Structure 1
Amino acid sequence: MSTAVLEAPEKARPTSLRAVWPAILGLSVVFLVEMLDNSVLNVALPRISQDLNASASDLQWITTGYSLLFGGLMMAFGAIADKFGTRRMMLIGLSLFALANLAVLLVHTPGQLIAVRAAVGVTAAMTAPGTMALCFRLFDAENLLMRATSLITTVGLVGMAVGPTVGGLVLQVLPWETLLVMNVPIAVLAILCIRFGIPADDPAHRNSAPLDLPGAVLGTTTIILALWSATQVVEHGWRHALPWLGLGVVSAVAFVVRERTTAHPMFDFALIKRPAVSAALAYEAAMGLGMAAITFSVSLQLQLVWGWSPAQAALGNLPQVIVMLAIGPFVEKIVDRLGTGKAAPLGAGAVLAGLVIYALLGRYDYVWIAVALALTAAGMRVVATIAGVTVMRGLPEDQTSTGAALSDTSQEVAGSIGMAVVGTIVAAALTGSLAEVAGSPAAARSFENSVTVATLALTAVCAVLVTWAARRAAKAPAEHGA
């Protein structure tokens, strides 16, 4: 297996984003769909329940089934893409993604829709690792990579912001199946852009080692069990989650043993020892934990404690989306001026400051919530861009898809853990259900106190991760390529 750090190929690469606009458009569209898929369909759950006579359990599996398979399979498909071609995997995944979404037209029962959503999750996992991996194939210059990454992320954030609104408008005039069928022309557009805008895979840059199927199975099982355990904690408490968590630990141990003893591991743990890579992953995990705390809590507080409508609560979260979009063009300038060694800790510090402000002051006035959302959004955008580029630059060229999948998975698992922590602390503080918070001042105070405790606890963990990451990153220049 190659262990050389990414190097520029002999052929000169483009010197501007405009020169490769079809490729950037295609990758942006892929990321847009990844960000939209579950959030748009959530708007249609009441209609789905009525049309298909779906139970609450059915609705849970319609969304959870997709999330589990999407998050759990990214690492495995990243390794497969590195071996057989990232562009090839992306095109196959997009084609199957279009067919899976089109299959919704044949759905007549909740079980059939769950199967369709599972298929969509699998095909989305096939495409996800390739988004950043193919982006890194386009450019050599660090500033262009930052710019391209920021642009692709911006498109996804715009979709995330307007997606539920667009979905609600579509449902006013068209059946809910339209929300899935709309993905078909989007996938076709992405296929055309990537097919003609990105060069074919070079066999010399593929991972030539045999595919580690046992490692892929164990890694996928571990991630799925971790995500499922976190879901069970939030929805049913620790008693229901512990058996699954135990199985996840056993699977994780087996995965580590397998990867450390096999001659050709799916992912070489030695790569994580590289200071730049391990620091970037720690930053991403910290951001996943922190953003989970504020994302989970704010909407509940606005609706349950302050009595805002769902539409008002959605507007209340706009400062986060607006700042994420607004700061995008400035990320490159911030990094150029400060360097990654200062920009990443600064961005992480903004996230930590936002979390503390929300924990201590968010209950008193919406202004403090807006400030907290703005700070966390700005910091998250800076850190996410730097960390993503750093992980990809710190790994061998024949493991770029695996690296992109590792980056995405670390955030997803950390986010699930963060939501589980908040959900557990809130549930422990309340004697009844969340629905009772709205009608009881005592329950509302208990909810706010528990959110404060949970947010401060996660902030402390984030601070430890950020401190470690900053110290680890400081070693990167001296140990580059280690």
Structure 2
Amino acid sequence: MSSAPATVIAGAPRSLREAWVALAGLSAVFLFEMLDNSILNVALPTIGRELRASTTQLQWVAGAYAVVFGGLMLAFGAVADRFGRRRVMLAGLVLLAAASLATAFVRSVEQLIAVRVAMGVAAAMTTPGSMALTFRLFEDDGLRVRATTLISTVGLIGLAIGPTAGGFVLAVAPWQVLLLVNVPIAVLAIIGIRRGIVADQAADLHRDPMDVVGAILGTTTIVLALVAPTLIVNEGAGSWIPWAFTGAAVLGAVAFVVRERATQYPLLDLRLVAHPLVSSGLAFKAAAGLATAGLGYLVTLQLQLDWRWTPVLASLGLLPEVVVLVAGGALIRPFVERVGLERAAWTSAVSVVLGLAVYGVLGRLGYLWVAVALVLVAAGMRVVGVVAGVNVLRGLPKNRTTIGAALTDTATEVTSGAGLAITGTVLASIFTGPITSPHWTAHQTAQFHTATTTAALTLTGLAAALVAYGIIRARRA
């Protein structure tokens, strides 16, 4: 199996400056994905009032994008590797611009949900391609890491400033502006990609028949896996509904594996996933997704419900994580050059596990330990998000890079949902009474401390198992 890269621009760029047009377009793609994940949340109360939406409908306004995005990435990754990564990305950007423009004409919550679904489809068409095209743009692994770091930093800045910027916009403009901002971002991305990246060569694509059954099974499984955690939180761990979705997701995963092993032209060749670089990178990404989602949820509840911090103060309490995520990009290149790609991947994943462990054991003792946990997890995630993704693509043939990028994003999305589900289930099983009550009894406070410790240490054990597996696989690379 060859993992030799194929360049996308004739005479591969020898520096980031030579590829600045392409990188500007690819950065814009990642920016809209991160911005869409955060900027709309601050407007949900306003949307609810203006469109007379129920709590469930508002939940789907926020969640429809993530579910569709996560569910379709594998399918569109396979399509892009067959029909052209640049072509699929440009089509997705046109869809994004059109869906964003449609926001101006939204008059009901159902229409807004439809717009969010279309945006999720656009994100699934574009986001994996941004990683794949970045990787293929350069021949040198060092330049690949630097370019991926640059693009991810732009996206993380969007994620960090999204809620604050959204709040300022709502003070002077209608909520629709928050989604209309995607139009100029999409236009910038289209210009950068059309001018900076040439179309894929036929030799860099493959023409295997599309595994439609596998695509349906994979998409259905991922959607069920992403919806189940939300149902656990909303319906409660005692309801049969979330567990029915969870069981269906497990059955779907089994059916998908059976299908992919049996068919001549699988959507996802499991032999490629078994490659040491690929399986180790996916394990590290999965551990980071599990830890980040679970820790973020636990800390938010602790600051606002246990310690009774105001939302503004709680947002300031999360600043250590934001600072590391945004500013930490400057440290990735020297760190990777010093220790190498493989060691950088597993040491950063270990940092994520250590952060979770610190929170589980010491988090209740004071904010200092919470801040230490946030910094360790953010630092680990910042490095592993870049390095593990690059390693996955290094381990794949040149005509499977987009589905490889889609696979890393899907692993993160699914394990993030699993982290929330585990946390919500533990809290629901230990804490009695409404958790949002303004006044807890001493017994409820003790229950909350037990629940957060149990949830954090459970996630620590699972993340540690994933990291250990990744290290074992990486040593075989």
TM-score range, shorter chain: over 0.9
- Give the AA of the match of 1:415: S
- Residue 439 of structure 1: CA displacement? 3.6
- Residue 441 of structure 1: CA displacement? 3.4
Give the alignment's TM-score, normalised by structure 2: 0.97
Partners of 2:282 and 2:26 lie apart in 1 by 22
Given the alignment of the two structures, is residue 71 of structure 1 paired with residue 70 of structure 2, yes or no? yes
Aligned to 1:384: 385
Cα shift readout 1:18-55 (whole Å, capped 9, x = no counterpart): 11111111111111111110311111111101111111
Alignment of 1:210-221 (within 5 A): 210-221=209-220
Aligned to 2:345: 344
- Residue 437 of structure 1: CA displacement? 6.2
Contact 1:71–1:409 (8 Å) recurs in 2: yes
Alignment of 1:182-197 (within 5 A): 182-197=181-196
Aligned to 1:243: 244
Aligned to 2:175: 176
- Residue 233 of structure 1: CA displacement? 1.5
Aligned to 2:114: 115
Bigger mean CA offset, 249-258 vs 384-393: 249-258
Partners of 1:200 and 1:88 lie apart in 2 by 7
Percent of counterpart pairs with the same letter?
51
- Give the AA of the match of 2:230: T
- Give the AA of the match of 2:419: G
Unpaired runs of 5+ residues, structure 1, are: 477-482
Aligned to 2:96: 97
Q: 1:276 to 1:19 in 2, by over 3 A?
A: same
Partners of 2:51 and 2:37 lie apart in 1 by 18
Aligned to 1:409: 410
Aligned to 2:137: 138
Aligned to 1:6: 4
Partners of 2:157 and 2:56 lie apart in 1 by 31
Cα shift readout 1:282-303 (whole Å, capped 9, x = no counterpart): 1111111111221111111111
- Residue 274 of structure 1: CA displacement? 0.8
SS of match in other structure, 2:371? helix
Aligned to 1:207: 206
- Residue 11 of structure 1: CA displacement? 4.8
Cα shift readout 1:412-439 (whole Å, capped 9, x = no counterpart): 1011001100110011111112212654
Aligned to 2:454: 453
Aligned to 2:45: 46
Contact 1:359–1:455 (8 Å) recurs in 2: yes
- Residue 61 of structure 1: CA displacement? 1.1
Contact 1:304–1:438 (8 Å) recurs in 2: no
- Give the AA of the match of 2:64: G
SS of match in other structure, 2:206? coil
SS of match in other structure, 1:43? helix
- Residue 373 of structure 1: CA displacement? 0.7
Partners of 1:124 and 1:341 lie apart in 2 by 29
- Give the AA of the match of 1:42: N
- Residue 86 of structure 1: CA displacement? 0.3
Partners of 2:340 and 2:97 lie apart in 1 by 41
Indicate the RMSD between aligned Cα atoms, in angstroms: 1.4
Partners of 1:148 and 1:341 lie apart in 2 by 18
Contact 2:281–2:345 (8 Å) recurs in 1: no
Aligned to 1:271: 272
Contact 2:6–2:204 (8 Å) recurs in 1: no
Aligned to 2:58: 59
Alignment of 1:191-340 (within 5 A): 191-238=190-237, 239-340=240-341
- Residue 366 of structure 1: CA displacement? 1.1
Q: 1:142 to 1:438 in 2, by over 3 A?
A: farther
- Residue 473 of structure 1: CA displacement? 0.3
Work out the number of aligned pairs and report it: 474
- Residue 343 of structure 1: CA displacement? 2.2
Partners of 2:144 and 2:445 lie apart in 1 by 46
Bigger mean CA offset, 337-346 vs 145-154: 337-346
Cα shift readout 1:43-71 (whole Å, capped 9, x = no counterpart): 11111011111111110111111111011
Contact 1:147–1:329 (8 Å) recurs in 2: no
Partners of 2:439 and 2:160 lie apart in 1 by 26
- Give the AA of the match of 1:6: A
Contact 2:5–2:136 (8 Å) recurs in 1: no
Q: 1:438 to 1:153 in 2, by over 3 A?
A: farther
Unpaired runs of 5+ residues, structure 2, are: none
Runs of 4+ in 1 over 4 A off after TM superposition: 8-11
